[in-house]
Structure formats: structure tokens, C-alpha cells
Amino acid sequence: MIERRYFKKSTSPIDYASALNRIGGDESFLDELLNLYSDDFSQKLDQILIAIVQKNYNLIQGLGHYMKGASANLSAIPLQNASFKMEMAGKEKDIKKVKESVEHLEKEFIKFQDYLAREKSKKQKKKIINASSKDIKKPINIHLLIADDSIESQPILEAFTTQAGIELDFAHSGKEAIGFFQKKRYSLIFLDIHMPHMDGFEVIKKMRNLEKVKAISRTPIVALTGLLIKRNKKKCISSGFDNFVEKPLDKKTLNKIIEKYTKRKDILPEFETARVDKSVIKLIPSYLKNRRQDIARMKKALALSDFELIEYLSHNMKGSGSAYGFIKISEFSRQIEMFAQKKEAKAIKDVMTQLENYLKNLRYK
């Protein structure tokens, strides 16, 4: 006897209001879940096509069951119904019905993707309209220009500024620095004194002249030098620099200078430093890599409302964190486990974000 079940009908690819209610009303979070669901569904369709060629009915039935559940979690009714039909066709081992159900499933999935694209476009237009109608100016962000011919320092400085949401331009020559300066206004400029073809003293002279010609306000410019001797210090100030720092430019110095000239404190997040036992230190890189993979798995599980998997992963992470010396990993994991038991998706997402940020800024010794 073949199982027959009927789900409610829907002309829309998704009952958005119902899906929003399921995750506690967080619209941006729902959009993130829908994108994850779409990527996962696309991968499953590829697996189905291979299963059809192999006539692997057990896999077809299993995939149909999985996709039916995933669709139900996000109130995607047409895809839920189509997945159920494919599941039943796989159970009947009828290749003709399987192919027909998959063709129907693909059509519904195209409608679903079109729906996501339309909604995304609507929201972008709405943002533009709201911004223009209110005519509110956005807060001024921090824009840095670092002119330094040493490419070794660029990746680490980019990492610092990206974490803080600072816009950074990196010039590798004096000429390039002047080009940037002519096009944009900067909150602060770091200018290396010793650059080929045009040194920092020539560059700042041209920059200060441009400020006079264009009648624009003075930009704070800090000299970068590896030779902080008294003669260079005096020359820096007399040439128009506002300050000077010794290379390489580290995070603490960068934060201090930014704070001084932008009047904003603690711009750059500090690295977390944990002390670990020497006997396990060789195991740490692999351990942290696995924890990042666990977070990725939990994100996918959250998209499918698979709270059991989230609880399982967070429980294991909770136990291992303290053992390796990372107390905060255990604490964050304990919170995720607790919220998974209560099926509180929004709270899980918030704590996972905190855990992700912690791992990004984590150092150990």
C-alpha cells in the first residue's frame, strides 16, 4: 500500500509570513536561511539526476524525504508538495513517475529562485527610496590611506582594518598616493618617508599644496619611518607631517593614532589571547580548524531547523574547549546547546556570530 498525503496548496513559492513567524520575526535572518536552503536544494537536485541514471530508488526516496522536510521548515509549500511526490515515486520504483516528479520539482525550484531574486530587488529599491526620501546623511566612516612600498605589511594591515569596518586604500608609490589623494578625502594618511622615485617629503609637499589650491581642510598625515632619529623627527614636523611612527606599523600603534585623529576609541578589536598547555599546542591549529567547520555545519543545520544536530555539535564543542584551554569556546557552546534544546533560532544565530568573531581574533601561547 503506497502512502498518500496531501499538503495545503499554495500559489506562492513560499509562505513568507509563516516562515518569518517560525524563526521569531527576524527578516534578515530568514533571508540568510533562504539563501542557504536554495544552495542546499540545488546540490540535492544534482544528486537526484545521478540517482536517476543509476536507478537508485532508495536514494531518490531519501532525498525526496529530506527535501520535503527542509521545505516544510521554511514554509515553501509547492516545493514541499513536489518533493513528497518524488519521494513516493522513488518508493514505488517507477522511473517514469520519478522523472515526471523531478521535472515538476525543477520547475517549482526555478519559481522559488525567481521569487528570491524579485524580493531581493524589491528590498534594495526600498532601501534606496527610504534613504532618499528621508534625506539623512550617513555617519562619516573612517577612510585610511597607507602609502608604503613594502608589500609585506599590507595583508596584516588589511586584516586589522577589515575587522573594524575601515575603508583602506594602499598606495605602493608616492605617485600613486597623490593620485588617491586627488580623488578622495581621507580621515587619516600614513605616508612612508623612504619610497623610490618620490619620497615622503616630496609627496606631502604636493598634498599640502593641493589642499591650499582646492581650499580643503587639512588632512592628518603621519610619517612612517624606520629611522626615528632626532633629525628626521624635526624634518617630519617642519615638512607638514602631523606625527610620525616607526615601522612596522602594529595594531596597538595604529589604534592609538586612529583614536587621536578621529576621536573614536577602540576602533580595532583586540586579539583574544589564550594560554594553552605545551603538550597540546601542536594540536591547536587542527582543533580550531575543526571548530570552524562545526560552525559551518551548525549554520546549515539552522537553515533546516535541525536543532538536534546543533545540540550534538555544540555539546561536543563544549566539552573539548576547556580541555584545550579555550574557556570561551566552552561557554559559547554551552549557550548554543541550551538554545538548541529550546529551539530558539535567533538566539542560536547571535551566539554563533559571537563565537565566530572570537575565533577570528583568537591567539594562543
CA 202 to CA 295: how far, in whole Å?
50
The whole-model pTM stands at 0.41
Q: pLDDT grade, residue 137 (50/70/90)? A: very low
Report pLDDT for 57: 93
Report pLDDT for 177: 92
Q: pLDDT grade, residue 3 (50/70/90)? A: very low
Cα distances (angstroms) measured from residue 277 to each of 106, 291, 328, 358, 364: 53, 18, 16, 20, 10
Question: In the chain, how long is the greatest CA-to-CA distance?
Answer: 94
CB 2 within 8 A of CB 88: yes
Higher pLDDT, 3 or 199: 199
Q: pLDDT grade, residue 265 (50/70/90)? A: low
Report pLDDT for 322: 74
Q: pLDDT grade, residue 290 (50/70/90)? A: confident
CB 98 within 8 A of CB 60: yes
Say which CATH architecture domain 272-364 belongs to: Up-down Bundle (1.20)
Report pLDDT for 318: 83
DSSP 279: G
Report pLDDT for 186: 92
Domain ranges of the chain: 16-134, 143-262, 272-364
CATH number of 143-262: 3.40.50.2300
**Mean pLDDT confidence for 305-329:** 84
DSSP 90: H
Least confident of 195-199, 219-223, 269-273, 332-336: 269-273
Whether 16-134 and 143-262 share one fold: the answer is no
Report pLDDT for 92: 93
Report pLDDT for 133: 44
Q: For all residues of the chain together, what is the average pLDDT?
A: 80
DSSP 200: H
Percent of the chain clearing pLDDT 90 (strictly above)? 18
Report pLDDT for 17: 83
CATH number of 16-134: 1.20.120.160
Least confident of 19-23, 108-112, 335-339: 19-23
DSSP states of 10-52 as a string? -SSS--HHHHHHHTTS-HHHHHHHHHHHHHHHHHHHHHHHHHH
Percent of the chain clearing pLDDT 70 (strictly above)? 81
Over residues 25-36, the pLDDT tens digits come to 777 777 877 888
Over residues 324-345, the pLDDT tens digits come to 778 888 888 888 999 999 988 8
Report pLDDT for 88: 93
